[in-house]
A = this chain, B = another copy of it.
Amino acid sequence: MSLLVVGSVALDSVQTPDERRDDVLGGSAVYFSVAASFFAPALLVGVVGEDWPAQHTEMLQKLRVDTSGLQVIPGGKTFRWTGKYLPNMNDRETLEVHLNVLEQFNPKLPENFRKSKFVFLGNDSPINQMKVLDQADGRLLAVADTMDLWINIQRDKLDEMLTRIDGLVLNDSEAKLLTGDENLVRAGHKVREMGPKFVVIKKGEHGAMFFSEHETYVMPAYPTAQVVDPTGAGDSFAGGMMGYLAERGDFSPKSLKTAMAYGIVVASFTVEDFSLERLKQIRRADVDRRLEEYQQMLTF
């Protein structure tokens, strides 16, 4: 079934303890779309500037991503993020953020995107996220991401948005901030009580937790010896998860659990190289093979 993603499209500069890459392809909607593409083509809505290299759009199109919702702002500059990873490769510092065209981003869904059944609201202001919900009136499932910024400065709008979505995906530190609870199990359920029917807490190298009214579970990250660049792991997780659900066409507890596992596995590929490099090299069979290994790993 159709899968819509609205989120950032970026040029990232990333510094790890070993290497540095400048102006590489990034952004939540891009990681999401490429991760989802193993399962279902995504309809992408985002914004870039005139400096956006056409090759990135072509790459996305080759992966069956519909880029007709990608707004190009004449004279504008693409959103840029510069970050530096600490030696543990799990924590990072944001060194520079240039919102550029993202500052005035007003999500507009092309007519044929409005009937999307599966909708993912990448990290953006809750106001923008609700604008998408207003337009995506054919949806069966809406899942959103958020971040500390919106928890801190647009809490009332965020609270409103939370009552309108089916699922929320957020980081452990964000779940703690949103609920004031340091215990992630309690925090997960407290977030769920704010509106979404299910909540996923991402724990970086420690995996992810799932919360619904009747279920609480944790899935570890796939153990990776060579973490080259963790950027986009969380968005790849969401893309793998939502892509699988869109492929299945349902979001039963069983499908959601397998979707979590696929999300974890796809994210484990993302971190093996900079930017989208690793995801571009692999195919569905590689994802399935690792999923099987992962499943084996958890069987005793």
Contacts and interface: CB of A to CB of B under 8 A. Distances in A.
A300 B218 contact: no
Contact of A297 (B206, B217, B295): B217
Interface string A218-230: 1111011111000
Given A218-B297, A295-B300, A298-B298, A89 B182 contact: yes
Given A209-B223, A300-B295, A87 B217 contact: no
Interface residues of A, number: 35
A189 B205 CA distance: 17
How often does this chain occur in the complex, in copies?
2
Contacts of A295: 300
A213 to B, nearest CB: 14
A3 B203 CA distance: 36
Nearest to A205: B184
A300 B248 CA distance: 15
A257 interface: yes
Contact of A223 (B89, B185, B257, B299): B185
A185 B224 contact: yes
Interface string A115-143: 00000000000000000000000000000
A185 B225 contact: yes
Contacts of A152: none
A183 interface: yes
Contacts of A67: none
Interface string A183-197: 111100100000000
A207 B220 contact: yes
Interface in A273-300: 295, 297-300
B88 A300 contact: no
Nearest to A258: B300
Instruction: Enumerate the 3 nearest inter-chain pairs by beta-carbon distance, A residue then B residue, closest first.
Output: A218-B220, A298-B298, A206-B206
Interface of A: 87-89, 182-186, 189, 203, 205-207, 209, 216-221, 223-227, 254, 257-258, 260-261, 295, 297-300
